[in-house]
Amino acid sequence: MERTMIRIRMSSRDAHYAGNLVDGAKILELFGDVATELLIRHDGDEGLFAAYDNIEFLAPVYAGDYIEARGEIDRVGATSRHMIFEAYKVITSAGIISQPSACNVLEEPVLVCRASGTCVVKKELQRKK
């Protein structure tokens, strides 16, 4: 099945709560971008995200963290594409007060969110078979 991944650094503009905590909706926005790419690769059309059937927030994300959002199509219907998503923290702040720009690459990425949902591409818009 089709798979894709994007990596992005969370900025201070993404922080919504005290302590530079990033709103979970930002991770869902990344999943939406992953879904769009998957549909383009699979069908040649952006399609529409119809619904999530599961969302689990598993670890906090902060401004400055690098997040990898991954997704794959796991089931294909006539017009529906069911997808599964995972987001991992791969780089984070080192937390050194005297070196505020210091960061650490995590040896083991931290799973911060997983979700699944269904997208739809109308039959007449499907350009790839």
Looking at residue 73, which CATH number applies to its domain? 3.10.129.10
Decide if 14 contacts 62 (C-beta within 8 A): no
pLDDT at 95: 80
- So what's the pLDDT on residue 129? 62
33 domain residue, yes or no:
yes
The one-letter code for the residue type at 117 is G
d(CA 41, CA 76): 13
pLDDT of residue 16: 85
Asked if residue 129 belongs to a domain, the reply is no
pLDDT < 50 stretches in the chain: none
Query: How does pLDDT run across 87-104, given as a tens digit for each residue?
Result: 999 999 888 878 888 899
pLDDT of residue 45: 94
Q: What domain range is 97 assigned to?
A: 3-123
Is residue 11 one of the residues assigned to a domain?
Answer: yes
Question: 21-59 burial string, b = 16+ CB within 10 Å, else e?
Answer: ebebebbbebbeebbbebbbebbebebebeeeeeeeeee
Count of domains for the chain: 1
Domain assignment present for residue 53? The answer is yes
Residue 88 domain-assigned (yes or no)? yes
Instruction: Give me the pLDDT at residue 15, please.
Output: 87
